[in-house]
């Protein structure tokens, strides 16, 4: 097993990660892992991530694919018998990893840029196009290679009705949404000054 045992890691998560303390309530039933459409793609499903945190396995958790793969489908959160906000913890870990420089900010910033553009253009996310555009930022050949590697995940998402085969259409209130996004952008610039 890679990585060293870090006895302070669990406390670090409880103190610094969004909803991190909630995992103390986990009874390891595995319902979250069984419900997750991406469990076959994740190196560690959510239940195991929580075990690793409590076991002080910092490297495995912070370098895991799982915390970056979560698509916010909420299945885990609505099914957890202890009401643990699993999704919040998974995203919280990813944000913490970015903040600590463990997960590269460049990649996430590029992803965020593509995400924003798509929301601005059609008002929703097309689960097929977004990863493709993001992957192509690496260059044509590596982009196509990464996209092919993601195909099994895409098939799982399609089978779980998380992705359509046809392109997503613009939402009805796209003009109003754009006005709100423009306003949000302006406010963001103001806050940055
Ligand atoms: S469903 Fe809830 S209690 Fe069960 S393993 Fe997942 S987080 Fe823990
Ligand atoms: S919200 Fe994330 S961790 Fe939870 S079931 Fe969906 S993809 Fe899996």
Which protein residue's CA is at the shortest distance from atom 2 of ligand 2?
70
Q: How far apart are CA 95 and CA 107, in angstroms?
A: 13
Q: With left for phi above 0 and alpha for psi between -120 and 50, is residue 26 left, alpha or beta? A: beta
- Is 193 or 120 the better-scoring residue by pLDDT? 120
Collect all residues with Cβ–Cβ distance below 8 Å to 161 and sequence separation of at least 6.
none
pLDDT of residue 190: 52
Domain boundaries of the chain, sorted by first residue: 9-99, 105-192
Q: 190 alpha carbon to ligand 1 midpoint, in Å?
A: 41
- C-alpha Rg value of the chain to the nearest Å: 18
Which protein residue's CA is at the shortest distance from atom 6 of ligand 1?
32
Q: Which CATH superfamily is domain 9-99 in?
A: Alpha-helical ferredoxin (1.10.1060.10)
Q: How far apart are CA 156 and CA 59, in angstroms?
A: 28
pLDDT in tens, 24-64: 999 999 999 998 877 877 899 999 999 999 999 999 999 99
Entry field: residues in the chain: 193
């Amino acid at each position: 097993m890679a990585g060293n045992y870090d006895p302070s890691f669990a406390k670090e998560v409880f103190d610094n990660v969004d909803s991190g303390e909630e995992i103390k309530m986990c009874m390891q039933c595995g319902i979250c892992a069984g419900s997750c459409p991406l469990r076959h793609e994740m190196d560690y499903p959510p239940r195991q991530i929580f075990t690793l945190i409590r076991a002080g396995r910092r490297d495995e958790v912070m370098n895991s694919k799982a915390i970056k793969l979560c698509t916010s489908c909420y299945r885990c959160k609505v099914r957890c018998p202890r009401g643990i906000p699993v999704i919040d913890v998974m995203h919280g870990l990813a944000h913490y990893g970015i903040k600590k420089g463990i997960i590269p900010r460049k990649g996430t910033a590029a992803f965020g840029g593509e995400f924003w553009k798509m929301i601005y253009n059609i008002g929703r996310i097309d689960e097929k196009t977004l990863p493709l555009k993001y992957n192509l930022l690496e260059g044509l050949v590596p982009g196509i290679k990464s996209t092919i590697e993601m195909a099994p995940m895409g098939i799982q998402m399609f089978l779980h009705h998380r992705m359509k085969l046809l392109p997503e259409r613009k939402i009805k209130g796209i003009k109003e949404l754009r006005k709100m996004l423009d306003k949000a952008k302006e406010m963001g610039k103001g806050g940055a000054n």
